A and B are shown apart, each in its own frame.
Chain A
Amino acid sequence: MKSLLIDADKCTDCLQCEMACSFENEGVFNPARSRIKVFEFEHGRRAVPYTCTQCDEAWCLHACPVEAITINAATGAKEVNAEVCVGCKVCTIACPFGTVNYNEDTGKVVKCDLCGGDPQCAAVCPTGAITYVDANWTGYQRMRDSAVRADGGAS
């Protein structure tokens, strides 16, 4: 299975990823609706793209009261089914990474779904800061480690 690999050192903060993401998912260039966000530090010294790691713990999925979040068997992505989502936002506080967001316009939550296996953020990234690679390569372990700890010791 593949996942997104983010190398913040290569990010120039151009936000092409945010435009591609909103365009793919909402049909509009609109970073405010992007599921990947680039965070800027110290007058632009660093820029860090950030989105869901599709963590194994799947906090969002487990917290959902109506089974609106399910796993895509092909990609491993935790996907929101907007038809089922009631907009209760419990997943937005349950996800310790802060990568599920509430969209006030639709009254539903949104999160990265890997664009069904062809993530557009990676496709447009001009510097290779975002790539879609074999999961073993991602080095996302650090993020996942902190996910495990969010369980308060469960393993």
Chain B
Amino acid sequence: MSWQGKVLRVNLSAGTAEPEPLNLDWAGEFLGERGLATKYLWENMDPKADPMGPDNVLIFATGPLTGTMASTSGRYAVVTKGPLTGAIACSNSGGKFGAELKFAGYDLLIVEGRAASPVYLHIQDGDVRILPAEELWGQTVWYTEDWIKQRHQDPLTKVAGIGIAGERGVYYACVVNDLHRAAGRSGVGAVMGSKNLKAVAVRGSVGVTVKQPKKFLEVVRDTHKMLAESNGRKGLTKYGTNAMMDNMQNFGGLPTRNFREVQFEGYDKIDAKAMMKPNARGHTNLLTNKACFGCTIACGRIAHIDQEHFTIVNRKEYWHASGGLEYETAYAFGPVVGVSDIDALTFAGFLMNEHGMDPISFGVTLAAAMELFEDGVLTTEDTDGIPLTFGNAEALTVMAEKTGRQEGFGRILGLGSKRMCEKFGRPELFMGVKGQEFAGYDSRALQGMGLGYATSNRGACHLKHDMFTEDMEDQSGNGKAEPCKKSQDRVAFVDSTGLCLFTDGTWATEDYGRQLEAACGGDWPLERLLAIGERTWNLERSFNLKAGLTKADDTLPPRLLNDPAPSGTAKGKVCELDKMLPEYYAARGWNADGVPTPETLARLGLG
């Protein structure tokens, strides 16, 4: 009930696809989605394996609440060893694909091995086929989805796949589902590409049942209402995530020009309000908002590009609407590269979805390339004749496309910032942690965010903890360790339910518990929920330690540790990681090297 009780295991080397029963003991301890997939990954592979080799395991995981009437029930996670980081990767996504996988009867899809030649997976309830994808290799995500729907004559098929970036091993290639939702980070798309797996297409008609239907509907009615009345929700519905742009600008936490600055003069040309304002020709960027499956928030933006804009004036194929700017895309194509041309940003966003790349990593990598260019390390000879100056909108869009298609300098950008900066002898210009680039928050202004970035198990990430309130209230590094730890655990729990993190805040942890109880049966007291999160966090950490990561990887670039913020509310401050990190290890029950103690592991049942 609520879990389907079934895992689909596909071995691409052997060409087999077999269902197996879900391990319900594990489900009780790790719930679903992120947590449960972490457990399955841990049990199914050697963390030392080459992330791009056949021994890496790629898991698509739904949660027990995925595909139910609980609001935001469209989530699924892709869990694997990330090529960008060499650490565990856990990227989750919305859209409709995750729920469809569940409707087809599966909690998890585990992909092992490597196909001899390109394939895609077609799942129709119990009918699973591994089919040739030669015709799709070298094609875009959008082409692939359309082709598969036509090939199987079913417009309701849901598709998650990769573009050329994933095929060619761009380190931050992502898995895109439903045209513009993505399991975006850490290069999970490159893992898919390394397995010669172009796409997973699903159509489900089994459906999902819950344990206590009547009670579940009652609880859900109530939790829907909570969201309906929440101001935070209303803001997300109206403005989308890009409402954050103004906050970060005012606060002075908006990473600008590869983190040399923390405020961006052009922010109001690309913020949420700018998306809603007609330009001189009367073109308005934003068309409408759109929900993921089951979501009563609908923060997604659907936008279109001005047809007269230089990027698409001669390219009619981009005159349609598609996924518009989220805050992270706006930041990564805006302030961090110094560009404030909203159409260029939107176009670059389209290209990310079309070619299957993580916009954060791409933007921050381009920012580092721009700094290298301005420092004279790179010249137009290296960059296909394009001056990579901060603020150059054409550099953004042309490089986005070159990277997506793996042409020219795009091949260098496809390495990600860390590898690229090392290649050019300037490792300090990489803005990220464990090889993964930062999201749009500067850790000098947001100290808890800095700690979260440094300790996130998948490398720099803003979505593995939520310290905004603490960080806004207190701009020092004091007392951040304990709340950061707690927040990480709570988020890890929410990420394991099958629901979206954007409900967190409106819903207390207990509200997820109520929904789980009615859906799955059993008791779900607060301690159990938080223990699921903490257990997941520690197992992710254990994976990373076994993979060879150490305390030395829990750090931030020197720019954030040594160069004071030049402006904003945190002017003059650096990130106080050195103070926070030991406190954090202690709060976690880890030793001074950041290794979980045997007592901690035993307490969590991981001993």
Q: How far is the CA of A30 from the CA of B292 in the complex (A)?
A: 16
Cβ distance B483 to chain A, nearest Cβ, rounded Å: 32
User: Please, how many angstroms separate the alpha-carbon atoms of A105 and B126 in the complex?
Assistant: 14
Q: Considering the complex, give the chain A residue whose CB is closest to the CB of B96.
A: A15
The one of A14, A27, A43 that contacts B294, using a Cβ cutoff of 8 Å: A14
The answer to whether A28 touches B290 (Cβ under 8 A) is: no
Minimum C-beta distance from A38 to chain B (A): 10
Give chain B interface residues in 200-228, CB to chain A under 8 Å: 203-210, 213, 217, 224, 228
Q: Is B14 an interface residue (CB 8 A)?
A: no
Contacts of B475 in A (CB 8 A): none
- Write the nearest CB–CB distance from B291 to chain A, whole angstroms: 4
In the complex, the answer to whether A27 meets B291 with C-beta atoms within 8 Å is no
CB distance from B103 to the nearest CB of A (A): 6
With A13-B290, A42-B320, A44-B290 in contact, is A30–B206 under 8 Å at CB? yes
**B180 contacts A31, C-beta separation under 8 Å:** no
Is A32 in contact with B290, judged by CB distance below 8 angstroms?
Answer: no
Q: Tell me the complex Cα distance, A43–B204, Å.
A: 21
Contact between A28 and B294, CB atoms less than 8 A apart = no
Q: Decide: A29 near B207, CB < 8 A? Known: A12-B291, A14-B293.
A: yes
Closest beta carbon of chain A to B118's beta carbon, Å: 25
Which of A12, A29, A44, A45 contacts B67 (CB under 8 A)?
A: A29
B residues near A29, Cβ cutoff 8 Å: 67-69, 103, 207-210
Give Cα A121–Cα B156 distance, bound, in whole angstroms.
Answer: 20
Q: A23 in the interface, Cβ–Cβ < 8 Å?
A: yes
Tell whether A13 pairs with B291 under 8 Å between CB atoms, given A43-B322, A44-B180, A126-B228: yes
CA distance A124 to B180 in the complex (A): 26
Residue B300, interface by CB 8 Å: yes
Binary CB contact string for chain A from 8 to 27 against chain B (1 if under 8 A, 0 otherwise): 00001111100110110011
Q: Looking at chain A, what size class is its interface with the partner chain?
A: 20 to 34
Whether B298 contacts A12 by the Cβ 8 Å rule is: yes
Q: In the assembled complex, how far is the CB of residue A13 from the closest CB belonging to chain B, in whole angstroms? A: 6
Q: Is the CB of B296 within 8 A of A126?
A: yes
B294 engages A19 (CB within 8 Å): yes
Is A114 an interface residue, CB under 8 A from the partner?
A: no
* Minimal Cβ-Cβ distance residue in B for A15: B293
Residues of B within 8 Å of A30, CB to CB, are 103, 205-208
In Å, the complex CA distance between A32 and B288 comes to: 26
Residues on A with beta carbons closer than 8 Å to the beta carbon of B217: 23
A105 to B213, CA, bound (A): 22
Residues of A within 8 A of B67 (CB): 29
Separation of A20 and B221 alpha carbons in the complex (Å): 11
Q: Contact: B224 with A19, CB < 8 Å?
A: no
Question: Do A27 and B213 contact each other (CB < 8 Å), given the known contacts A43-B321, A44-B321?
Answer: yes
Complex CA distance for A103 and B427, rounded to whole angstroms: 61
- Taking CB atoms, residues of chain B closer than 8 Å to A27 are 209, 213
A111 within 8 A of B: no
Query: Which partner residue on chain A sits nearest B205 by CB separation?
Result: A32
Known A43-B179, A44-B321: A33·B207 in contact at CB below 8 Å: yes
Residue of A nearest to B100 (CB): A31
The number of chain B residues with a CB under 8 A from chain A is 39
Interface string of A121-136 (1 = CB under 8 A from B): 0001011000000000
**B111 CB, min distance to chain A CBs, angstroms:** 24
Q: How far is the CA of A30 from the CA of B5 in the complex (A)?
A: 17
* Closest residue on chain A to residue B320 by CB atoms: A42
Complex contact B287–A45 (CB within 8 A): yes
B312: interface (CB < 8 Å): no
| Pairwise interchain contact A31-B320, C-beta atoms closer than 8 A | no
Given contacts A19-B68, A42-B321, is CB(A33)–CB(B298) below 8 Å? no
Chain A residue at minimum C-beta to C-beta distance from B289: A12
Complexed CA–CA distance, A89 and B205 (Å) = 20
- Nearest CB on B from A106, distance (A): 12
The answer to whether residues A32 and B296 also contact, given A23-B69, A43-B320, A43-B322 and a CB cut-off of 8 A, is no
Partner of A28, one of B156, B207, B224, B320: B207
Q: Is B159 an interface residue (CB 8 A)?
A: no
Interface flag for A47 (CB, 8 Å): yes
Most chain B CB atoms below 10 A, which of A14, A43, A124: A43
Of the residues A19, A33, A45, A105, contact of B69 by C-beta under 8 Å: A19
Inter-subunit contact A16/B296 (CB<8 Å):
yes
- For the complex with contacts A12-B289, A14-B293, A32-B103, 20 further pairs of A-B residues with Cβ separation under 8 Å are A12-B295, A12-B298, A14-B298, A15-B96, A15-B294, A16-B294, A16-B296, A19-B69, A26-B207, A28-B208, A28-B209, A30-B207, A32-B156, A43-B179, A43-B323, A44-B300, A44-B302, A45-B304, A45-B321, A126-B296
Give 20 CB contacts A-B under 8 Å.
A12-B295, A12-B298, A14-B291, A14-B293, A15-B96, A15-B293, A15-B294, A20-B69, A23-B213, A28-B208, A29-B67, A29-B209, A43-B302, A44-B179, A44-B302, A45-B304, A46-B288, A105-B205, A124-B69, A126-B296
Closest 10 CB pairs of A and B: A30-B207, A32-B205, A14-B291, A28-B207, A45-B321, A12-B298, A126-B296, A12-B291, A43-B322, A44-B290
